[in-house]
Amino acid sequence: MSSPAPLHFGNASFKLKLPECGLGIGDLITSPQSPKLIEGVKAVAVPLWPDDRGYFMEVLRVGHGLAARFDPATTQVSSALSYSGTIKAFHFHLHQHDCWQPVMGMFQIALVDFRVDSPTFGKRNTFYLGALRPWQLIIPPGVGHGYKIIGADPAMLVYVTDQFYNPEDEGRIVYNEPHINYDWETQRK
């Protein structure tokens, strides 16, 4: 494998580069307070209120929680429905912060730090989030992110961004990029 090249993309206030990672999924994050979180990534468990009709879950209170600093004038709320086995990866932003809230199904979420000057450059995190683990996740600029839908059912992600969609702010890297070397295969066979 050749040495990874810098990611020349737009006008970020930081340098980006593909890291050289060994095969695997990186650190499995099982607690929102994990010391193994990539720098700037934040997670919080979201309460569910179940009853005999189903459940209720708050996704976002403007001005509160993980996305409290998002400016309402430029914040966008979107959703994506993906079918079982779908992999959507990797992409990253230069300026935009993402706040992800899986609301249906189960996701294997993969993060990788592309920021050369970050203390966690090259680090990978894996989260299993969704109906069985309702967490909210903040993904900062320069951190590559993607997911795979696990289980038999489709899954829905609601995501809030601190900026309106701008294709000039988004970089994409193929899901099986050899430098990232993320193992999308089932881990607990």
- pTM (2 d.p.): 0.92
Return the top range by mean pLDDT from 27-31, 64-68, 168-172.
27-31
Examine the pLDDT at 87 and tell me if it is beyond 80. yes
Q: What's the mean pLDDT in 146-171?
A: 95
CA 157 centroid distance within chain? 11
Q: Which residues are catalytic?
A: 91, 159
* Residue range 27-172, CATH number: 2.60.120.10
User: Which residue in the block uniquely carries the two structure tokens 């430098």?
Assistant: 179
- CA-nearest of 125, 105, 108, 124 to 179 is 124
What are the CA-CA distances from residue 65 to residues 43, 62, 111, 125 (Å)?
A: 10, 8, 21, 22
Model confidence pLDDT, tens digit, residues 5-53: 556 556 667 789 999 999 999 999 999 999 999 999 999 999 999 999 9
Mean residue pLDDT across the chain:
92
The DSSP-derived string for 128-188 is EEETTB-EEEEE-TTEEEEEEEESSS-EEEEEEESS---GGGEEE--TT-TTT-B--S-S-
Nearest to 57 by CA among 67, 65, 68, 46: 46
Amino acid letter for position 4 = P
